[in-house]
A and B are shown apart, each in its own frame.
Chain A
């Protein structure tokens, strides 16, 4: 921001720039500087925390990724980018888990966003017990992950699970649903149980849509479905886009759910996570805590960060075409 522009606003033409308007009243530069300093005092906790708790671990991981550190011994060497080369050339399991994770996201994210939107539209209508329905649909998404995992371990339990019992009615007996290849789908089902979180976000957006629009669409002879498709969805597309982005990031870094859902009860060791639910972060976790390959695991983490970065940028590009931003904002 140039000095000229700042001086130009002193006259108070820009109603948003309070600080600058106040400069006139209080004696120019000193006020400006004091407010600037005060700002940094107020935001200091976050800035310091960001540097120490976010930047430092990420940079540290990059340093470790260039070594063969095993997590405990002091005999480690700098090995350049060998870990990265190993992942890209040799680690077929790692690649498989990365692709599996992308597949998982490709299934879970559209279903959660669409399901959440459908529920939001449902409970945005004049429907009986609307408040209770909203709460009940939302509730599963706030249940702690450990409780959710135990619940679905019971549902898919081989001998006494509800799902096994239902399948038994169709003559399918004694299938260990929490092992390969079914564990993947159990994980998908468990994730979808929490789609009420997205419903609440969509619902908040739906409530911002002026009711006159629906009235006008109806008078013009548009069907309910047409109204939803051509007016409602475009109007709240920024919120849906937000859910897609955060949903993809959440899906890609899925770790605790596959660990806890694994049929084994010795949860501390994740080596027993079935292959079909060994998502990328599970693989990273194994490299760190089963194989003690901290260097290699760190390299995988950095590859992961880059994958997320690339996906986010791609989505941002795509969003220009599909997301409709209201001019002027709210």
Chain B
């Protein structure tokens, strides 16, 4: 599985002037929304009422960030998000690694068709699946609890299973042959030989799963209550004035605080995100 593992790998074709123009245009297009978010987060309500040009006159108003943290119970919601994301990331990484190992290293009747089912489930529209899941969970009395996430995590995610399978399948056979001859069982082979080797994949899987859960809006919006929901829901629905209108400046500050952990994790662990690209795995 070749991936974007090194950021300095690429074609040797030297970029032309047109390429630089393209890069600058693209950078501007991708950057402007974030810059605008920051400008709004630093503006005062009176600047907002002056209209667009008002925002360009920058007098940082840090009070917006204070408001963002105090208007809603920010730390509690952030705590819920952190707990839920860590829970899902841990469970889904452990179970996806185990299942991926099974598909990569163990032979059995029905392995191939079963793996095609795993790949096919990546195509199942999750949003469409979530609505009947919500109905089922509500009939089971699990709405308002974190149990659905425990179940989702325990069963592993197809994408991560795929990732682990690709990694484990590429490890030379000799390694486990020697262990088998030494009388090692499959669980010991998995736990003592393969898992330690897969540390980068474990980290990739954990980070992907964590940021995915942190960023998810629909599942917590449907399945959790106001007192135990995540920061995603609180950021999207809080920050209103008494009449129910959104406070733009505080919303912007809240959105920045909410997305900050994801951006930091991404910048810090870029190569794990880029390295997880499924692209080359689907070839031929």
Chain A residues engaging chain B, CB cutoff 8 angstroms: 1, 17-20, 22, 25-26, 35-43, 45-50, 52-54, 56-58, 60-61, 64, 71, 118-119, 122-128, 130-131, 133-140, 142-147, 149-155, 157, 159-162, 164-166, 168, 193, 196, 200-209, 211, 214, 224, 238-239, 242, 245-246, 249, 252-256, 260, 265-268, 281, 284-285, 288, 294, 297-298, 301, 304-305, 308, 312, 325-330
Task: Count contacts between A and B, CB distance < 8 Å.
Answer: 350
Provide a sorted-by-A list of 20 A–B residue pairs whose CB atoms are within 8 angstroms. A25-B181, A35-B107, A43-B102, A43-B103, A58-B132, A125-B13, A128-B15, A135-B267, A159-B51, A160-B43, A160-B49, A168-B51, A193-B33, A196-B30, A204-B2, A204-B4, A204-B280, A265-B246, A266-B237, A301-B132
- Least Cβ distance of B158 to chain A in Å? 8
Cβ contact within 8 Å between B133 and A53: yes
Cβ contact within 8 Å between A146 and B255: yes
CB < 8 Å: which of A50, A64, A127, A252 contacts B19? A127
Q: Knowing A137-B26, A204-B2, say if A53 contacts B152 (CB, 8 Å).
A: yes
Which B residues lie within 8 Å of A260 (CB)?
217, 236
Bound complex: CA of A252 vs CA of B52, how far in Å? 34
Q: Knowing A144-B232, A201-B278, A238-B283, say if A57 contacts B30 (CB, 8 Å).
A: no
Q: Knowing A49-B151, A144-B214, A200-B277, say if A36 contacts B109 (CB, 8 Å).
A: yes
Bound complex: CA of A108 vs CA of B40, how far in Å? 28
Cβ contact within 8 Å between A255 and B218: yes
Which B residues lie within 8 Å of A284 (CB)?
128, 131
- Least Cβ distance of B153 to chain A in Å? 9
Bound complex: CA of A284 vs CA of B244, how far in Å? 26
User: Does residue B123 face the partner (Cβ distance < 8 Å to A)?
Assistant: yes
Give the top 9 A-B pairs by smallest Cβ distance, nearest first: A49-B155, A165-B52, A42-B102, A144-B215, A19-B107, A329-B284, A201-B279, A131-B7, A39-B108
Cβ contact within 8 Å between A160 and B124: no
Cβ contact within 8 Å between B132 and A160: no
Which B residues lie within 8 Å of A22 (CB)?
177, 180
Cβ contact within 8 Å between B107 and A71: no
Q: Mark B42-75, 1 if CB is under 8 A from A, else 0.
A: 0100011111111100000000000000000000
Does more than half of chain B's interface fall in helix, strand or loop, or is it mixed? helix
User: Does residue B240 face the partner (Cβ distance < 8 Å to A)?
Assistant: yes
Cβ contact within 8 Å between B107 and A20: yes
- Least Cβ distance of B178 to chain A in Å? 12
Cβ contact within 8 Å between A208 and B255: no
8 A Cβ contacts from B230-266 to A: 232-233, 235-237, 240, 244-246, 248, 251-252, 254-256, 258-259, 262-263, 266
Which B residues lie within 8 Å of A43 (CB)?
99, 102-103, 114
CB < 8 Å: which of B49, B155, B245 contacts A265? B245
8 A Cβ contacts from B139-198 to A: 151-152, 154-156, 158, 161, 173, 177, 180-181, 186, 190
Cβ contact within 8 Å between A45 and B99: yes
Cβ contact within 8 Å between A138 and B273: yes
Which A residues lie within 8 Å of B51 (CB)?
159-160, 165, 168
- Least Cβ distance of A25 to chain B in Å? 8
Cβ contact within 8 Å between A301 and B211: no
Which A residues lie within 8 Å of B43 (CB)?
160
Bound complex: CA of A127 vs CA of B180, how far in Å? 49
Cβ contact within 8 Å between A127 and B132: no
Cβ contact within 8 Å between A54 and B53: no
In this complex, what residue of A is CB-closest to B95? A45
CB < 8 Å: which of A53, A143, A256 contacts B155? A53
CB < 8 Å: which of A39, A48, A53, A160 contacts B55? A160
Which A residues lie within 8 Å of B151 (CB)?
49, 52-53
